[in-house]
Amino acid sequence: MLRIAPLLFLILTSAALAGNYPHRDDFLWVTTPDKSDWIYTLGEDATVSISLFRYGIPQDGVEIRYEIGPEQFPAELNGKLKLDNGHATLPVGTMAEPGFLDIRLQASYQSQTTKHHIKLAFAPEQLSTRTPLPDDFDSFWTKAIAEASMCPMTVERQHVPEFSSDQLDCYLVKIQAYRKGNYVYGYLTIPKGSGPFPIVFSPPGAGIKPMTPEKHLFYAESGFIRFDMEIHGLRPDLDHETYRDINASFGSRENGYLINGLDDRDRYYLKKVYLSCLRALDYLTTLPEWDGKNLIAQGGSQGGALALVTAGLDKRVTACAANHPALAEMAGHLTGQAGGYPHLFTKFEGMDTPDRLATIPYFDVVNFARRIEAPTFMTWGYNDDTCPPTTSYIVYNTLHCEKESLVTPLNEHWVSTETRHAILRWIGEQVK
């Protein structure tokens, strides 16, 4: 799988802080692959140039410890090298199969430790899914949608002055979904004016936590109705202490919602989540302010996964935008390549039972991506350890619809403000 060239490699970040570029850190790592797009062909040797600065000063003679191996798998090479006037060049080898080479480094200076990592792509356009497609996948979801549609839709809506302005009105909405007594919430922002307006449906990232619509108000300010959805039936405006208590009880690794009911496809937590997304569309398409044509699904991480699932299940969706989607290739690690969030087979024990392995394909994003017909935009980074680039490429490569990507190799599990606005610009181009 991995062949290492003679010399060695590089990279780091600040110890107790997550991310390659922690805020207000004394150290700065600069790692530059010898291919500007960080993409190599199979069998092609890669080299990375490394620089380490402290207070902006090159660190001469500092010892770097490195580990190199396939993404999410144990390192196949480790060793040490020294920086010369703050710089080093490290040949890191190649790969014989499509995937990502993960290079991790660490350096110590007095009492401080700094770390950094970088991932290089090898023939990522050849990455393909190893998730099986159940024979009854379509019939399972057709039946589930029909059953969920029998649940009466009741809606409560209250104006939220805090997030409203002279450009938009914000509402906190409660919708009954999936089964009687099961609810989801969301913030609905509607531009002021005569309209009509396109709708952007945006499901949430992972976790049980408060949410506000603040960072996405620019959608309504730009002429889009937007619905930022909550999936757990909890008011998103509860105080942080209450959410901490709820998360401690239902959001921890041992009893987290993403493993709740995984033994049975009809009891798995994500079933009600996926169907609740469709109920949200049922409500949104009744809004008198909607233009009656444009219904876009958009989200990031878990939200990116739910946007893709919604687009795969509901042909009312006219466009889809997803950044670094989770819930893809969830059993990938068992097949010898990187697996997606929530990393069931590396973070949890006892997941590889026949029942759980049988359930996963009914909820894996890849199997919904196969069915998307609407134009789709995706963006992701290479240095993402939460939703690894392997799985984003697999989702993208699986899409058969009109598609476009923005690959930002440097990014970890985040997108910049500019990328957020680039997503909106792409969405605007899809409006008919």
**pLDDT below 50 — which residues of the chain?**
1-18
CATH code for position 18: 2.60.40.1930
pLDDT per position as a tens digit, 2-47: 333 333 333 333 333 347 777 788 999 999 999 999 999 999 999 9
In a domain, 210, yes or no: yes
Co-location of 107 and 161 in the same domain? no
Co-location of 153 and 101 in the same domain? no
Domain boundary among 126, 145, 180: 126
In a domain, 159, yes or no: yes
Domain boundary among 97, 126, 155: 126
Co-location of 71 and 197 in the same domain? no
In a domain, 334, yes or no: yes
Co-location of 107 and 222 in the same domain? no
In angstroms and rounded to an integer, the radius of gyration of the C-alpha atoms of the chain is: 23
Co-location of 102 and 205 in the same domain? no
Which residues are catalytic, by number? 301, 384, 413
Number of structural domains found in the chain:
2
In a domain, 59, yes or no: yes
Domain carrying residue 145: 137-430
**In this structure, what are the phi and psi dihedrals at residue 359, rounded to the nearest 5 degrees?**
-75, -40
In a domain, 131, yes or no: no
Co-location of 57 and 197 in the same domain? no
Q: Contact at 8 Å (CB) between 321 and 307?
A: yes
Co-location of 146 and 214 in the same domain? yes
In a domain, 149, yes or no: yes
Co-location of 259 and 325 in the same domain? yes
Co-location of 247 and 317 in the same domain? yes
In a domain, 401, yes or no: yes
At 251 the pLDDT is 61
Domain boundary among 126, 151, 181: 126
Co-location of 101 and 152 in the same domain? no
CATH code for position 278: 3.40.50.1820
Co-location of 112 and 151 in the same domain? no
At 3 the pLDDT is 36
In a domain, 132, yes or no: no
Co-location of 168 and 59 in the same domain? no
